[in-house]
């Protein structure tokens, strides 16, 4: 047997400013749980770390919007989210691995933990003293109150128009629409998010910056070490950052809610450690806190147990670090966090941009793989906590078996491209695959076996067990077992589950061909031929019991509740999660028996019923005053004047009156010019039937030449509020179709009609 590995599984820290939704689950929280269960079954020693990210502006923004204290928000959502993850079956508890403390465990901590604060402050000081920070004066937006006082506005308190894609509600640091990051000062039409009418101005403020540039070369070398294992999206994003050249990054900010700077002096009042700087350190502090709390008395290394998962040992196998997160978080885990770790490893020496700072013996280990996911979409649109376009996990788990969503999100996991959640697909996959293939197979085996039961307490199939005729099936299952293992090692969860389902499929086919139900009772004219056929048929049924056992072990990472239930139904004892992965191919295990016909593992879903419930919940959430987004389908209160009604499939229905408010008209493009200040924009003159005509800025430059556009009949939105785009007034919007694959076509008119005609 190989030496067990120390595997640290790090899960992106969810902001405690709202409940988790299914997009988070598919992107961040389900994959690491599947992986942890797989690694444990392999016999490895796994430590699982994460927790609530409780500082920073996402929290203060939510608190301000709800008129409560930040502490109230984080207390509430830490509890709700941790419970929801446990209800989903994620292995955050028990904190100590059931096999023993030396096998590791799990801790879902909080960044408000004083021990976390202490470690972060220690690290801050160590990096500061080692010269890895520099002080710079920043220009920061400042909101001026009527009484003359005011406050600095962190990035999330600023909104404006994205300098890249012109999206109007772009945040101060990153655009939700196109993903570009920038400085808040690059936004056009900036305003305070909380008080859009308040005066704002740019003021000077001093901050510390982490010298990311010192780690450029080391990070390039380090990423090459792992390059072949990384997913395409991870490589692309990392390369992008490294190619741009790393610049110092602010580690302090003007905000009260956060970890105080461990520095003397009035000039640091009202400032705290930037949330990115402390939250990524949570992977490290959480391991240390787990050690302090659980390992001190019981682990052979006591308080230093965490080092087994974090430090490169003098000899033997290095720990393996896996980080699970959504694609928007990749550079933090392949560039910024490894740079910080290398910084912490080298506080005793003078580092320069030429140094190779990759960890040596006794150093903190760097990430081995970052299997970041793409997005799970909701009926075609992006899940959004802030826009409340979501299916909330707590509400979901009140109504459905957790394994149904674990199955669906696994088989539909956004591994290499965005995937979509919608109710009809959910119901179809659960009913036809999880129940139709898996549930039915194991249930069939058990009910047929029960009909042979003679009440001896023995499994009635035992006497028909005959592995000598099962060669083909054993070969196929052995091959699938090895495929599942490889897929899981490569973080291809969808593929792994598909192969496991193929085993159930194989079992179904085997039973279908063997027709054991014809051999349960001896007919009056039974002859030798019948008895020979019976031996073979019931041997297959007996092997069906063994396949069910194999399935319980191999599907345990994906659907742990049902796998355990199946294990119990098979008359086996103990926890299936503690059975070794290779034991799935053990064909000699004694065949257990409970003497009862088990209940089916799953309840069939009724789409019609679900859609009706969704409609009711959607109505409640639009009419109720409740601010509690853990309940309701897509939660949250709608603004009354929007008159939106949420449809079950995630479609947002628009009331007809609202649609009529949009004035669409026909026009002819008379002139197209390059926008003087924007690379992607044209300034388009349109004959709209009025004498003066109108001007519209359109982002069509990548798709149309000027010649192709001039003379075209088009449809435009005539009553949009005119606004300046990079200095040019735009009076409307041209309609164009976009297939999402860089193919954009203007909407044109079918035949002749006078310019300025109303479009309905």
Positions touching Zn ion (CB under 5 A) are: 162, 164-165, 167, 175, 177-178
Residue with smaller CB distance to Zn ion, 177 or 453 = 177
Residues facing residue 210 across a β-bridge:
133, 249
* Closest to 10 measured CA to CA, from 303, 212, 309, 407: 309
Question: What tokens does 161 get?
Answer: 């128009």
CB of 6 to Zn ion, least distance (A): 41
CB of 167 to Zn ion, least distance (A): 4
Residue with smaller CB distance to Zn ion, 177 or 420 = 177
CA angle 686, 687, 692 (to 5 degrees): 100
Residue with smaller CB distance to Zn ion, 188 or 459 = 188
CB of 163 to Zn ion, least distance (A): 8
Q: Long-range pairs for 311-314 at CB < 8 Å and ≥24 separation?
A: 311/362, 311/363, 311/364, 311/365, 312/359, 312/360, 312/361, 312/362, 312/363, 312/365, 313/361, 314/361, 314/362
* Closest to 738 measured CA to CA, from 729, 748, 747, 751: 747
CB of 179 to Zn ion, least distance (A): 7
Question: What tokens does 15 get?
Answer: 């902001």
384 exposure class (CB count in 10 Å sphere: 0-12, 13-18, 19+): middle
CB of 166 to Zn ion, least distance (A): 7
Residue with smaller CB distance to Zn ion, 198 or 733 = 733
CB of 680 to Zn ion, least distance (A): 11
CB 305 within 8 A of CB 101: yes
**CB neighbour burial string for 194-203, b if at least 16 within 10 angstroms, e if fewer:** eeeeeebeee
For tokens 């509740």, name the residue. Answer: 561
CB of 567 to Zn ion, least distance (A): 50
Question: How far apart, in Å, are the Cα atoms of 470 and each of 449, 461, 543?
Answer: 18, 15, 8
DSSP 8-class letter at 181: B
CB 673 within 8 A of CB 707: no
CB of 212 to Zn ion, least distance (A): 24
**Integer Cα distance of 739 and 268 in angstroms:** 50
CA dihedral 406, 412, 417, 421 (to 10 degrees): -90
CB of 180 to Zn ion, least distance (A): 5
**Integer Cα distance of 521 and 456 in angstroms:** 18
Residue with smaller CB distance to Zn ion, 71 or 240 = 240
Residue with smaller CB distance to Zn ion, 165 or 250 = 165
Residues facing residue 245 across a β-bridge:
none
Residue with smaller CB distance to Zn ion, 175 or 497 = 175
CB 312 within 8 A of CB 319: yes
Alpha helices by DSSP H, 316-368: 330-331, 337-345
CB of 170 to Zn ion, least distance (A): 5
């Amino acid at each position: 047997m190989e030496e067990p590995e120390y595997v640290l599984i790090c899960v992106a820290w969810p902001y405690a400013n709202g409940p988790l939704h299914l997009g988070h689950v598919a992107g961040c929280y389900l994959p690491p749980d599947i992986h942890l269960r797989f690694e444990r079954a392999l016999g490895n020693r796994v430590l699982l770390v994460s927790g609530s990210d409780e500082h920073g502006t996402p929290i203060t923004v939510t608190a301000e919007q709800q008129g409560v204290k930040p502490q109230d928000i984080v207390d509430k959502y830490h509890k709700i989210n941790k419970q929801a993850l446990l209800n989903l079956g994620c292995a955050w508890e028990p904190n100590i691995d059931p096999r023993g403390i030396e096998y590791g465990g799990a801790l879902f901590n909080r960044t408000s933990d004083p021990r976390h604060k202490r470690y972060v402050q220690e690290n801050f000081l160590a990096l500061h003293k080692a010269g890895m920070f520099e002080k710079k004066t920043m220009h920061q937006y400042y909101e001026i109150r009527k009484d003359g006082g005011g406050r600095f506005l962190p990035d999330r308190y600023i909104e404006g128009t994205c300098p890249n894609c012109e999206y109007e509600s772009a945040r101060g640091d990153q655009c939700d629409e196109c993903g570009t990051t920038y400085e808040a000062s690059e936004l056009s039409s900036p305003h305070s998010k909380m008080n859009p009418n308040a005066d704002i101005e740019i003021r000077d403020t001093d901050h510390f910056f982490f010298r990311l540039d010192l780690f450029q070369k080391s990070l390039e070398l380090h990423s090459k070490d792992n390059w072949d294992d990384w997913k395409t999206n991870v490589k692309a994003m990392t390369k992008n950052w490294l190619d741009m050249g790393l610049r110092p990054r602010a580690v302090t900010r003007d905000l009260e809610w956060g970890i105080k700077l461990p520095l003397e002096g009035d000039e640091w009042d009202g400032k705290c450690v930037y949330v990115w700087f402390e939250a990524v350190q949570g992977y490290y502090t959480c391991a240390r806190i787990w050690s302090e709390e659980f390992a001190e008395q019981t682990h052979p290394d006591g308080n230093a147990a965490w080092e087994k998962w974090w430090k490169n040992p003098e000899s033997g196998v290095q720990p393996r670090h896996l980080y699970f997160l959504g694609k928007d978080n990749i550079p933090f885990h392949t560039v910024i966090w490894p740079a910080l770790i290398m910084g912490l490893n080298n506080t005793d020496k003078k580092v320069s941009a030429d140094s190779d700072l990759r960890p040596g013996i006794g150093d903190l280990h760097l990430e081995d793989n970052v299997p970041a996911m793409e997005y799970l979409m909701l009926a075609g649109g992006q899940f959004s906590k802030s826009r409340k376009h979501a299916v909330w996990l707590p509400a979901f788990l009140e109504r459905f078996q957790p394994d149904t969503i674990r199955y669906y999100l696994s088989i539909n996991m956004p591994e290499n491209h965005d995937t979509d959640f919608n109710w009809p697909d959910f119901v179809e996959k659960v009913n036809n695959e999880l129940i139709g293939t898996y549930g039915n197979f194991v249930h069939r085996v058990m009910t047929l076996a029960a009909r042979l039961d003679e009440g001896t307490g023995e499994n009635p199939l035992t006497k028909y067990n005959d592995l000598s005729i099962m060669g083909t099936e054993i070969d196929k299952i052995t091959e699938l077992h090895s495929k599942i293992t490889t897929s899981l090692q490569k973080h291809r969860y969808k593929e792994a589950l598909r192969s496991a389902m193929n085993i159930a499929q194989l079992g179904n086919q085997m039973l279908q061909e063997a027709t054991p139900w014809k051999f349960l009772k001896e007919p009056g004219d039974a002859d030798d031929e019948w008895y020979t056929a019976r031996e073979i048929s019931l041997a297959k049924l007996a092997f069906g019991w063994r396949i069910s056992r194999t399935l319980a072990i191999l599907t345990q990472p994906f659907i742990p509740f049902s796998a355990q239930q199946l294990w119990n139904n098979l008359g086996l004892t103990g926890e299936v999660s503690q059975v070794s992965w290779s034991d799935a191919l053990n064909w000699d295990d004694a065949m257990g028996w409970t003497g009862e016909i088990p209940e089916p593992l799953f309840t069939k879903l009724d789409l019609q019923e679900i859609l009706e419930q969704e409609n009711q919940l959607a109505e409640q959430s639009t009419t109720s005053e409740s601010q509690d987004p853990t309940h309701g389908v897509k939660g949250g209160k709608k603004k009354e004047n929007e008159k939106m009604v949420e449809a079950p499939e995630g479609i947002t229905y628009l009331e007809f009156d609202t649609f009529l408010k949009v004035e669409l008209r026909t026009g002819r493009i008379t002139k197209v010019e390059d926008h003087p200040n924007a690379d992607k924009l044209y300034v388009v003159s349109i004959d709209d039937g009025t004498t003066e005509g109108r001007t519209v800025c359109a982002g069509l430059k990548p798709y149309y030449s000027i010649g192709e556009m001039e003379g075209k009949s088009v449809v435009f939105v005539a009553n949009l509020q005119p606004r300046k785009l990079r200095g040019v007034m735009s009076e409307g919007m041209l309609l164009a179709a976009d297939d999402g694959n860089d193919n954009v076509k203007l909407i044109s008119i079918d035949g002749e009609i006078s310019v300025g005609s109303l479009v309905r």
